[in-house]
Structure 1
């Protein structure tokens, strides 16, 4: 395991190392062997913090929330600023240090497991690209802080199994924040605000022209950018939102199929049912029956 730095820990700081006996359990357990934490911490305003590793046995995720610093690998070097993540997979030599005048605040996690390279790639790591942009996100800060609570459990095996799966969830949250941040920077529109507009108009027929106008972009550039960020065309994604809401209404209410169709913007019940079946893989009535058994 790659040892964490020996940076002098202040009162508010956290440095927690998973004990060897627990690492061995997590590496064998079917619910954790794919990904589990070996060390984690929180370094506030980390003046003097630095690390050089010629050999790196863990995977390491670091999240800068304030201040700045510098990272160097064989293929990349540059400044790290608030909202950036450093993605340092197993085997990648690296060096990093806090800025002397404005030292960074970091959340960090060392982790191992059979699927860790896949998680790194999912977060956007590529050769020569060890930095990702997520913005300073209260959601991510809270997720890192919650993960650190495992240090208060008396080395409970169940708590570490939970923490390992929380780590997997945190990384998927990171990926979503990276995507949302890219949308804010690159697309010319706030993706979350645009999707909020879709939800507010879930009972209406909204066109591509309507959505492009909200984004203040041409239809062509808006559609291409939206698909790059979400994997769906805007209208397909809006349809999926409608069907998600229809599923909720089928499950949580006793409304008739025709009324549910109207509440997601379709006056023609048969047309709605065809769209629902094509999207969900079951008819509206079949879906309702399957959730009430």
Structure 2
């Protein structure tokens, strides 16, 4: 197996190597033997990160979600930036490193199995090791799901699920449209918002998801949608609150917490501003049969 980096982990980072017994089970199981992870992790703002391998016997994917780095394969050296996905096949000597002034944040996975070569070709990597996909929810969320196998005590079932999720992630690649630098992945951003309706995401977090400054993020979003990202996030929250008021027995305070507001009075003011009536009046109107068909 290709060795993973022994570089010291920065805060909020993770490196997970699977033990030999677990790898043997994955290699023998009919649901995972043709594609499974052998090690995986996430490095955040990886100052000083670098790796060089002359011997390489598995596939390696590296997805850059922030910052920059460089990759060398043979005589070719190229920059790697936010939204780039590296796919290195077995047998390809390589070296890579984080940029000194803007170090990358990366998610990565070493993988094995006979399906990997076919999936790599289907994703368009026949002519090179790097493709720019942009920050897409399918990729950001997909790599995050792989890491959910941690804290399992190396139990087999969570890693069998990780193998299935790895397959789903790679099968999505031919369906994705690479995001142009000049635009934004609105579908991915809106999916990220929907996944976090229970939280109070700040503008800075939304801008960071798109790898933009707050100023450029707001201007680009408004130009494409006609509203601000904060307005859209609020409307998604109120839309979900209406669904809870329509279909559940949750109290107003519970609905408020479900959409990320501990202060139910503040939530009620926001709800009234968007809907034109309070949450309790909205529910009362429904109970009286004036909610519409």
The TM-score range, normalised by the shorter chain, is 0.5 to 0.7
Structure 1 runs of 4+ aligned residues shifted over 3 Å read none
Deviations 1:12-53 (A, max 9, x none): 001001111011111111110110000000000001000000
Q: Residue in 2 aligned with 1:134?
A: 133
Matches within 5 A, 1:1-293: 1-74=1-74, 76-127=76-127, 129-177=128-176, 180-181=177-178
Distance 2:59 2:152 in 1: 24
Deviations 1:180-202 (A, max 9, x none): 126x579x9x998xxxxxxxxxx
The TM-score normalised by the length of structure 1 is 0.60
Distance 1:103 1:185 in 2: 19
Distance 2:50 2:117 in 1: 25
Contact 1:84 1:133 (8 Å CA) reproduced: yes
Structure 1 alignment gaps of length 5 or more: 193-293
**SS of structure 2 residue aligned to 1:181:** coil
1:123, distance to aligned residue in structure 2 (A):
1.9
1:112, distance to aligned residue in structure 2 (A):
0.4
1:115, distance to aligned residue in structure 2 (A):
1.5
Distance 1:145 1:86 in 2: 17
The TM-score normalised by the length of structure 2 is 0.60
The number of residue pairs the alignment matches comes to 187
Distance 2:76 2:22 in 1: 34
Contact 2:69 2:79 (8 Å CA) reproduced: yes
Deviations 1:219-247 (A, max 9, x none): xxxxxxxxxxxxxxxxxxxxxxxxxxxxx
Distance 1:125 1:171 in 2: 12
Contact 1:76 1:130 (8 Å CA) reproduced: no
Q: CA RMSD in A?
A: 2.2
**SS of structure 1 residue aligned to 2:160:** helix
Distance 2:65 2:173 in 1: 13
Distance 2:132 2:175 in 1: 11
1:111, distance to aligned residue in structure 2 (A):
0.3
Distance 1:98 1:191 in 2: 28
Distance 1:98 1:10 in 2: 13
Comparing 153-162 with 89-98, greater Cα deviation is found at 153-162
Distance 2:109 2:57 in 1: 13
Contact 2:10 2:45 (8 Å CA) reproduced: no
